A = this chain, B = another copy of it.
Amino acid sequence: MKLLRRSILMLGLGLTSFVASADTDTIKTRWADVKVDTVASGLNHPWGLAFLGDGRMLVTERAGNLRIVAADGSVGEPISGLPEIKVRGQGGLFDLRLSPNFSNDNLIYFSYSEPETAGSDITSTAVARARLENNKLHDVKVIFSQQPKVMGGRHYGGRLAFSANGDFLFIGLGDHGHRQDDVQKLDNHTGKLVRIHPDGSVPKSNPFVNQADAKPEIWSYGHRNIQGMDIQPTTGQLWTVEHGPQGGDEVNMPKAGLNYGWPVITHGEQYGGGEVGIGFKKDGMEQPIWHWTPSIAVSGVAFYQGSQFPQWQGNLLATGLKGQQVARLEVNGDHIIHQETLNLKRRIREVKVSPDGSIYLLTDEPKGAILRLSAVK
C-alpha cells in the first residue's frame, strides 16, 4: 500500500473543469434498487477504465486520449507520450490495464489502432506498455501488433485481460469486418484471441507454438470481434464476449487451441436476413456459453464481487451498446442459469467493479460519461 500510494502521487493531476452532473436515477431490480449516478462526463467515447486505488481512475477515450479522472469526477488533461493512434471508424484508443505489479513498476498496458506508417489508413490492433509518471508516458514499447494490417476501420477487438497470476496478457481481436477468410486460418491474427507475456514474448505453453505457419501468439480462433474480457475470480478462467452479426452475440470461455466457429457457424444472421455460414453447429467448433439474439451489441464484461450487491456475487455483468443495458447473468460453473436486464437507456461500452463494490460504466457517446451503480440504502 505504501508503494501504491507513492505511485499515485507520482502520476500527477492536470485537472480540467469537467465535473459530474448531479443526475441520479433509480432502477428497480429483483434483488436491489440500483442508484445510477453520473460520476464524470464530457469524455469522447470512453472505452477503457482502471481504478488507481485512491478513488482516481485512468480512462481511455476512443478519440485517442488517456486521462485521469479524480474521485470528484474532474477530468484531467490528456496524458502525453502516447504513440500514433489512427482514429477512424471504430479505430482509436481502446482498452487499458494496470500492470499486475503497478504499485512497484507504474506500468500500464493499452491497445489501439496502429497505422502501418505515419498517417496511413492501413491499420491493425496493437498493444503497448509504458510507465506512467507525472501525467506522461515513458519508455513506450509496442509488445504486440496484429498481423496483417489492412485497409478498413472495423472489428478491431481491443480488449485486454491479465491472467490471475499476472504471467499472461490476453488480447481480444476481430476480423476487420472484411477479412473473414483469414479467421479460420492460423497464419495471421485476424479474428484471434492472443496470449503473450507482459513483456511481449510468446509463452512456450501456447497451443500453436510448434505448428509451422501458425502465429505462435494465438490462444484460440474463429472469433468475429471480441469486445469484453474478464477473469472469473473463483476459477481464474477467462471469459469473453463478442459481437455476432445482427444476432448471436456470444459469451465464451476460450480454451487453448479451440475454434469458436466464425464465420462458419453463428447464432446470428446476415444483415437484411438469411443464414450466415452453415448454421449453428459443427463438429470441432465450440458452442457459446450464452448468446443474445437479437444482438445487444455486447461490449464490456465484469464478474461482480463486492458488498454493495450481496445477491450478485459471481454474476457476470455484460454491457450493451445497441442494447443500452447491463445484462446480469447468473453463473453456475460454466453455465448461465438466469438473465436479468438493467435498462440504462444509453449505449454502454464498458463495466468495472470498483474497490467499494459499486459498478462503474462508460457510455459510448461523443460526450460520454462515467456512471456509477450503487445500492439504494
Please report A residues at the B interface, Cβ cutoff 8 Å.
Answer: 30, 247, 267, 280, 287-294, 311, 330, 332-340
Within the assembled complex, what's the spacing in Å between the Cα atoms of A155 and B194? Answer: 52
Within the assembled complex, what's the spacing in Å between the Cα atoms of A292 and B293? Answer: 18
Which residues on B sit within 8 Å (CB–CB) of A287? 332-333, 337
Which residues on B sit within 8 Å (CB–CB) of A292? 338
Can you offer 15 A-B residue contacts whose CB atoms are under 8 A?
A30-B293, A267-B330, A267-B337, A280-B311, A287-B332, A288-B337, A289-B335, A289-B337, A290-B338, A292-B338, A293-B340, A334-B335, A335-B335, A335-B336, A339-B339
Which residues on B sit within 8 Å (CB–CB) of A290? 337-338
Which residues on B sit within 8 Å (CB–CB) of A288? 332, 337
Q: Are A30 and B247 in contact (CB-based, < 8 A)?
A: yes
Q: Are A338 and B30 in contact (CB-based, < 8 A)?
A: no
Chain B nearest CB from A293 CB (Å) reads: 6
Within the assembled complex, what's the spacing in Å between the Cα atoms of A289 and B311? Answer: 19
Which residues on B sit within 8 Å (CB–CB) of A280? 311
Within the assembled complex, what's the spacing in Å between the Cα atoms of A247 and B340? Answer: 12
Within the assembled complex, what's the spacing in Å between the Cα atoms of A43 and B334? Answer: 43
A-B complex: 8 closest residue pairs judged by Cβ atoms: A287-B332, A335-B335, A291-B338, A290-B337, A291-B337, A30-B293, A288-B337, A293-B338
Which residues on B sit within 8 Å (CB–CB) of A311? 280
Chain B nearest CB from A199 CB (Å) reads: 37
Within the assembled complex, what's the spacing in Å between the Cα atoms of A337 and B292? Answer: 9
Within the assembled complex, what's the spacing in Å between the Cα atoms of A334 and B333? Answer: 12
Chain B nearest CB from A252 CB (Å) reads: 11
Which residues on B sit within 8 Å (CB–CB) of A247? 30
**Residue of chain B at shortest CB distance from A281:** B332
Within the assembled complex, what's the spacing in Å between the Cα atoms of A293 and B311? Answer: 13
Within the assembled complex, what's the spacing in Å between the Cα atoms of A247 and B30? Answer: 9
Within the assembled complex, what's the spacing in Å between the Cα atoms of A334 and B335? Answer: 9
Additional A-B contacts beyond A30-B247, A287-B337, A336-B336 (20; CB < 8 A): A30-B293, A30-B294, A267-B330, A267-B337, A267-B338, A280-B311, A287-B332, A287-B333, A288-B337, A289-B335, A290-B337, A290-B338, A291-B330, A291-B337, A291-B338, A292-B338, A293-B338, A293-B340, A335-B336, A339-B339
